[in-house]
Amino acid sequence: MERRTLGHTGHRVSAIGLGCMGMSEFYGTGDDEKSLRTMEVALEQGIDFFDTADTYGFGRNERLVGAFLRNHRPRITIATKFGIVRQEGRYERRIDNSPAYIAQACEASLERLGISHIDLYYAHRLEPGRPIEETVGAMAKLVQAGKVRWLGLSEVSPATLRRAHKVHPIAALQSEYSLWSRDPEPELLETCRELGISFVAYSPLGRAFLTGTVTTADDLPANDFRRSNPRFQAEALERNRKLAAALAEFAAARQATPAQIALAWLLAKHHHVIPIPGTKQPAYAQQNAAAAGLHLSETEVATLDRMFPPEAVAGERYTPEGMKGLGL
């Protein structure tokens, strides 16, 4: 497994991480035993950078990852997040970046994960109207107290990232990035490169769309959030399927899966990008890990770039409610 340095830290992690969110919520019903096996397979394949958040499953995902960490903590770099406050059974959410809440959220995450410190702690979303200097200042106190090693931000603008980095070094910026979601190009990715910040790409497989396994909404479980996602609505999905078909044809020619090509594209384009595909299937964890050994030529990368022009993608990334707070 290729390894990449996490921002300015000097700490190296697997070039491909593991997103754990879907194990506990959003993508149908979870199976904890299978999810634990998925984590085991990922680690066996060299994936040692795990990503969770306190809001995933209302804390259940952190507890699930914590159960795995009990036997594997020294080998895992663990990232979690705070800031999105939800009530079970309701879609509405609020964002809280207050210093008091940050301290409280950190303690709760440490307890659920069963660890003494968090390696990478992200502000999951920024609270509108609250200065980033106040938020990062409160996060920095956690570093000083030894409860957090490094700081991260998620879905922020280049200008906000620069301001935050002046308060305390930011190790990683997490945002959605894939062949299907190229919003970070070029400014945000270039800002990260300039400041020595890793770009952690979530949903690098387009919420499984790029794998070619979702052709209609009927392919999704009844409790799957993608049923309400604009890109998975009938008309948009029909347009987007042409992109997935082109990727599948490209992948077949390379004797790889579409998911592996999508991940290899990210790794080839930017050496400071670390994709964190999510899965709860052991077989997919193994396939994703193998993408780190798949090398694309500059010509192949350029071909994929042309296949997925941003204007060809139909639908927003989220519903209007989900789009709130992005890019502050």
Residues with catalytic roles: 56
Phi-psi region for residue 77, left (φ > 0), alpha (ψ -120 to 50) or beta?
beta
Token reading at 8: 């300015």
Do you find a cis peptide bond into 186, omega within 30 degrees of 0?
yes
Angle at Cα 93 formed by Cα 90 and Cα 96, nearest 5°? 145
Structure tokens at 92: 């509405």
DSSP letters, 93-141, are: EEE---HHHHHHHHHHHHHHHT-S-EEEEEE-SPPTTS-HHHHHHHHHH
Strands (E), the chain: 3-5, 12-14, 18-19, 49-51, 77-82, 84-86, 93-95, 118-123, 148-154, 170-176, 198-202, 273-275
Please tell me the distance from the alpha carbon of residue 321 to that of residue 304, in angstroms, as a whole number.
Answer: 31
Q: What is the chain's length?
A: 328
Q: State the amino acid at position 298 in one-letter form.
A: E
> What does the DSSP 8-state code read for residue 322?
H
Backbone region of residue 155 per phi and psi (left: phi > 0; alpha: psi in -120 to 50; beta: other values)? left
H helices then E strands: how many in the chain? 11, 12
Structure tokens at 260: 């592996």
* Parallel, antiparallel or unpaired: strands 93-95 and 3-5: unpaired
Q: Which residue has the tokens 């990503």?
A: 51
